[in-house]
Amino acid sequence: MALQLLPPAEDRPTPNAAGAGPRILASGAPISPGPVPPDLAQHLVFGEALVWWGDKSRIYFGPLLMVLAAIVSILGFVSLLAPEFWLAPPLELAKPLAVLFSPALVVLIRERLNQRAVLVTDSFVLDVDNRGRSARLRFDQIRKVSRDVLRGGVCLEAGDVRVLIPPPLAEDTRKAIAAQMRGRVRANELEDSIGWMP
């Protein structure tokens, strides 16, 4: 019988009643939320070792609330300086209000587009969007790393294949890839203008 050293209890992730709590799936990888759900597991190839996974499944309202607070402040300032602004006909009033509220709509769309899961295996990084469509790239196939202008995260590219990583998952994804690339020699040219790839 082999002995196994465990970290102190305060350092161990605490599973919930079903035993599905956060856990480390591979040495050097960040903590994953738990066992990979079946709808994500179907995107893995048989025998592929999962190193880390994470998902952005909900919309964070913090950025939206900040934009709305700025809009309310601007409207309050306009009301103090030019109260006659509100006396304009509704159709004329709608145009400046639409322009003013458009950043809030952009933030909401961006949050919706960022809803996706990212999985890192021993050799691949995958993203699965909220419709179940996936893209996968082998670490040594990645040719370009750039900032995703529309979503704000990171975009990994090789030819016509793109893996999109939302901002909340970018750092853990990078750490999981770094854990798997330790000791590997990069054989390809990589265009990484943001210095993200380990």
Domain spans of the chain, in order of start: 29-57+116-192, 62-112
- 34-64 pLDDT tens trace: 899 999 999 999 889 999 999 998 888 888 8
- 179-189 pLDDT tens trace: 998 877 766 78
The string of DSSP letters for the chain reads --------GGGS----TTS---B--STTPPPBSSSPPHHHHTTSPTTPPEEEEEEE-S---HHHHHHHHHHHHHHHHHHHH-GGGGGS-HHHHHHHHHHHHHHHHHHHHHHHHT-EEEEEESSEEEEEETTS-EEEEEGGG--EEEE-TTTSSEEEEETTEEEEE-HHHHHHHHHHHHHHHTTPPP-S--EETT----
Instruction: Please give the mean pLDDT across all residues of the chain.
Output: 87
- 150-169 pLDDT tens trace: 888 999 999 999 999 999 99
| pTM, full prediction | 0.77
Q: Specify the CATH number of the domain 29-57+116-192.
A: 2.30.29
